[in-house]
Amino acid sequence: MSCLKELNSKTQKNGRDISAVYSSENYGHLHGMRTWDVNTDSGDQTHFSMSGVMQRCSGGEYSREAGASRPDHHCTNHRIYPSHNYTQPSLPQNILTAHGDFIPQSSPGHFMSPTPSLHNNNHLSSLGGHWLSEGLVHCNMTSGEIFDAVASICPDNLDEHRQKTHRKLEALTELMPQHQMDINQSVNVYLQPLAHKLGENATVMCSMNGQGQMVSVNHCSPGQMLHSQPPGHLDSSPEALCYDSSSKENLEQSYSIGSQSHLPSVSLPAIWPNHSFLCPNQQASPDPPGSGYSYNQMSRAYFSQYCQYPEYPDTLSLVPEGQSTSVVRLNESMWDSKSKKPCNCTKSQCLKLYCDCFANGDVCRNCNCINCCNNTEHELERYKAVKICLDRNPEAFRPKICNGKLGEIKGRHNKGCNCKRSGCLKNYCECYEAKIMCSSTCKCVGCRNYNGSPERRAMLWESPDTTFYKNAKCDKDKCPLSCITLDVVEATCGCLLAQAEEAEKEGYTLRQAEKMILEEFGQCLTQIVLSIFKSTSL
DNA sequence: GAGTTTGAAACT
DNA sequence: CAGTTTCAAACTC
């Protein structure tokens, strides 16, 4: 029986390393590339492939242009039309259009040269001088192509923008060259679409607010309505799809998705506050039925290394390939200053791993630090600091506490602690602080943070949080029952259910069904016991 | 709140 | 890689 095989597989894995049980095999990967059309009415066309980094404006970013009568002072406005299935309406010139179709990577985008009217300040001009300012949005476009493209569109302040942007790009490229390629393969950063005008699989929208939150909606189905209005106030205008990413409130509203509110959502980290990336081949995890959103989170700094650590697929989830619609956004709780403990750094400028904010990939906000450079005003310094840390230790931003074997509720410390005086029973100890027991990877002296320790037992049972003790893993991985994990229990239940269904399908009597289920349970137990024997050499 | 202790990070 | 220094958090009074 296949489920028995699965159970066997799981129990075998549980003996040592079960982290791969929830593999990606059931979930698709995001891949493919999308291109943009930047249209003007000049008629000239230049083909180019957009791969690399593109910038957006600060403050407003990609906001809605609510018709011709709604100027937006601080945002670059974009109208986006699909290249197919849609006839561009009669609108003012110089509209940035795009289509979000998944296009084979070899397919070029089309760039149509601009007209002089692009340079005016008419709010209907889709590209203004702020196009190249702050906040990186990554897409398949090289920096040179960006400059050339943007230069032809909005030469205003180009030199200044070029210099500023080039410095950032240099730092960025230097910092993570290997990820540039990843980005090029997984364009998921797109402008605001007019969703309901796009054909099936045509809508892609993705952007970030000033806090690095990435939001995207992919593959909207025809008729799906995305709106920026509160429920009940759906804007029926073609420009209804919008957001002002400088506003968290608007951001939330913008992604109130009409009848699709059940759509899954996943969170994406950003390496830096204004930068987000999507890696290809990220694994997706399904949402619990009925849940509106699911959030996973990981260190933003660590995200740049994400693709190097497939053993942590659960830290990031994306919508499975083929799913018609998805919402991708950064978990805002990651940026919730209320939930983040403020640091008190005085000498490190919050650019060393001494600083918890920096180490966690956060920027300092509402902290008590002095001479802080861990903020958006010191991006370059921050880039360099991240690079230094990664050069010194490529896993510097890797979460210290990783998922342990299944059944280990809290996991284990990657490096282990080195405590000498605290007995690992004070918060000086990172294991203790993370509410996990010390493991064989620790090099601590006089450790009392292990299962069965008298001090620990007394302390934990005195504590209101006795689940810490109850859920903790066995001492130093030597408990033979440690392989009976939730996963194994789940698999066992699955086998029993499958047997019950089979009995029902075959029309067996209740007694016969009970017998079948009990026999199945016996086989499951046999597999578990055999696995225990194997893993413990009993 | 000031001073001390502690262990991770950084440095040599 | 080991020893030392620096640093910020945890802890004590």
| 3-state SS, residue A483 | helix
* Closest nucleotide to A357: CA versus each C1': C8
**What is the per-residue pLDDT for A247?**
32
User: pLDDT tens-digit profile of A299-338?
Assistant: 444 444 433 333 322 222 222 233 322 222 223 333 344 4
Residue A179 CB neighbours (<10 A)? 21
Protein CA at A450 to nucleotide C1' at C2, angstroms? 28
Report CA dihedral (A336, A58, A298, A300) to the nearest 10 degrees. -120
Write down the domain spans for chain A: 2-19+483-536, 33-184, 409-472
Confidence bin at A498 (pLDDT 50/70/90): confident
Residue spans of beta strands (DSSP E) within A472-520: none
Protein CA at A368 to nucleotide C1' at B3, angstroms? 20
**What is the per-residue pLDDT for A429?**
93
More confident: A487 or A32: A487
**What is the per-residue pLDDT for A536?**
55
Protein CA at A113 to nucleotide C1' at B6, angstroms? 64
User: pLDDT tens-digit profile of A451-470?
Assistant: 777 777 666 555 544 444 44
Confidence bin at A348 (pLDDT 50/70/90): very high
Protein CA at A428 to nucleotide C1' at B6, angstroms? 6
Protein CA at A77 to nucleotide C1' at C9, angstroms? 46
Buried b / exposed e over A394-407, threshold 16 CB at 10 Å, is: eebbbbbbebbbbb
More confident: A530 or A259: A530
Q: In this structure, is the dihedral angle defined by the CA atoms of residues A455, A408, A464 and A335, taken in order, positive or negative?
A: positive
Nearest residue to A295 via CA among A258, A331, A251? A331
**What is the per-residue pLDDT for A430?**
93
- DSSP structural state of residue A227: B
The answer on pLDDT for A419 being more than 60 is yes
More confident: A253 or A516: A516
The answer on pLDDT for A186 being more than 50 is no
User: Is the Cβ–Cβ distance between A456 and A442 less than 8 Å?
Assistant: no
Protein CA at A518 to nucleotide C1' at C8, angstroms? 58
More confident: A267 or A383: A383
User: Is the Cβ–Cβ distance between A112 and A40 less than 8 Å?
Assistant: yes
User: Is the Cβ–Cβ distance between A253 and A230 less than 8 Å?
Assistant: yes
Confidence bin at A410 (pLDDT 50/70/90): low
Residue nearest to nucleotide B6 (CA to C1'): A428
Tell me the backbone φ, ψ of residue A76, rounded to 5 degrees: -90, 125
Provide the CA A181 distance to its chain's centre, in angstroms: 18
The answer on pLDDT for A271 being more than 90 is no
The answer on pLDDT for A267 being more than 50 is no
**Range of weakest confidence among A165-179, A293-307, A395-409, A513-527:** A293-307
**Placement of tokens 């902290």 in the chain:** A367
**What is the per-residue pLDDT for A159?**
56
Tell me the backbone φ, ψ of residue A77, rounded to 5 degrees: -100, 145
Give helix then strand counts, H and E, for chain A.
13, 15
Nearest residue to A24 via CA among A259, A321, A273? A321
**Placement of tokens 């209740």 in the chain:** A510
* Closest nucleotide to A400: CA versus each C1': B8
Spatial distance between the Cα atoms of A245 and A60, rounded to a whole number of angstroms: 6
Buried b / exposed e over A59-73, threshold 16 CB at 10 Å, is: bbbbbbbbeeeeebe
* Closest nucleotide to A443: CA versus each C1': B7
* Closest nucleotide to A367: CA versus each C1': C8
Q: Name, of A7-11, A28-32, A104-108, A455-459, the range with top average pLDDT.
A: A455-459
Instruction: Identify the bridge partners of residue A37 per DSSP, sorted by sequence position.
Output: A110
Q: What is the mean pLDDT of residues A94-111?
A: 29
Mean pLDDT, chain A, rounded, equals 50
User: pLDDT tens-digit profile of A363-394?
Assistant: 998 899 999 999 988 988 999 999 899 988 88
Confidence bin at A177 (pLDDT 50/70/90): very low
Amino acid found at A155: P
Amino acid found at A330: L
Angle made by CA atoms A339, A343, A345, in degrees to the nearest 5: 170
More confident: A211 or A514: A514
Q: What is the mean pLDDT of residues A188-214?
A: 31
Spatial distance between the Cα atoms of A178 and A184, rounded to a whole number of angstroms: 11
Percentage with pLDDT > 70 across chain A: 28
Residue A360 CB neighbours (<10 A)? 21
* Closest nucleotide to A444: CA versus each C1': B7
Protein CA at A371 to nucleotide C1' at C7, angstroms? 15
Angle made by CA atoms A247, A253, A257, in degrees to the nearest 5: 145
Confidence bin at A408 (pLDDT 50/70/90): very low
Instruction: Identify the bridge partners of residue A138 per DSSP, sorted by sequence position.
Output: A53
Nearest residue to A446 via CA among A468, A474, A426, A472? A426
DSSP secondary structure, A233-291, as one string: ----STT-----TT-HHHHHHHTB-GGGTT--EE----SBTTB----TT-B--PPPTT-
Residue A191 CB neighbours (<10 A)? 26
Q: Tell which strand B nucleotides have any atom below 7 Å from a protein Cβ.
A: 5-11
Spatial distance between the Cα atoms of A173 and A167, rounded to a whole number of angstroms: 10
DSSP secondary structure, A83-133, as one string: SSS-PPPS--S--------EE-TT--EEEPPP-GGGGS--TT-S--GGGSS
Q: Name, of A6-10, A159-163, A526-530, the range with top average pLDDT.
A: A526-530
